[in-house]
Structure 1
Amino acid sequence: MYGARLQRSTCTNCNAAYTRRYLKVQRRVTPAVALHSRARQRAARRGLPFDLDVSDVIVPSICPALGVPLVVGEMRSPYSPSLDCIRPALGYVRGNTRVISDQANHLKGVLDIEGLIKRAVASVDQRREDYARLAAYLDRELLLADVRRKAALAGAAGEEWAEVAKFLDAAFVRADWKR
């Protein structure tokens, strides 16, 4: 079913089957492209700003929010990569997105740090730990956003903040999580 078929141009079922298979292969081969494409569609549908390149979407091997391994190329699961808007009102713009697990993105939703902390206190067992990790993740990301804002300053101070931002960004992506 994958490949050029003469009936694709006239048969909607053939074209739909081809498209499904093509997109499935693309998700497996280039997950960043698939995440970028879906985010662009969501932003247009919701009227949110969108200013991302595919190179801005970096898919880590471990979720920076919950510390679980991200599973790429399989059917959608709690461990699938998902593009998170750190501050949802700002939309999909550089510095406001990070790839986390689908489970983490669903738990976070549009909550801010206070909302995540309240949920962590009210939840039981594993959810409490997950919400606490999400609150810590959001706190780190807001710190990084503040550092990036300072890095935009001109002169030597801006250059120093840019180095700090580069270090923090690498440290947050490569966090060595243990469950």
Structure 2
Amino acid sequence: MRKSWIVGITAGFTLVGFSVPAFAQEESTLTNCASWQSNSVALPGKPDVTLSARPCILVNAGHQKAEIQWKQHSDSVGPGTRWDEMYVHVNLEHNDDAYSPTNCYITSDVNAAGNDVSGTCAMAWKSYNSSWYYTSDGLIEYDINNDGKAEYYWSLHGSPSLKS
């Protein structure tokens, strides 16, 4: 079973003898996001759904973080089992090399929602080479309930680059 990690640093903490400072102040964080991308999904016996997502790269004081903001929209009303599984996979990248890939399990969120739901899948802040340019990209993996097919993979166009 896959697990999700949605992490944000709001205070310093110590883990196994290592101290991680709280450094991220919203006013000093630079963000560069791709445009919203949309994917219409036909659901068998249910109203269709539009998925939207955009990868973003965030930098702050020599630290980097990748995230994917996502939305689900449907004209139907009320929750229901539309998906057997849905994951958001996000990567922090430099020259197409992935660092700290993060996976978020969002199936219960999207199935429990009425017609609109949104969220963010984000990796933890990391400190890599501050002279590099970074991007964020990833994909949405989904398995439609009762369609008799395997999962689908929707690859997203990456964010514009940003230097720490």
TM-score by length of 2: 0.25
More strand as a share of residues: 2
TM-score by length of 1: 0.24
More helix as a share of residues: 1
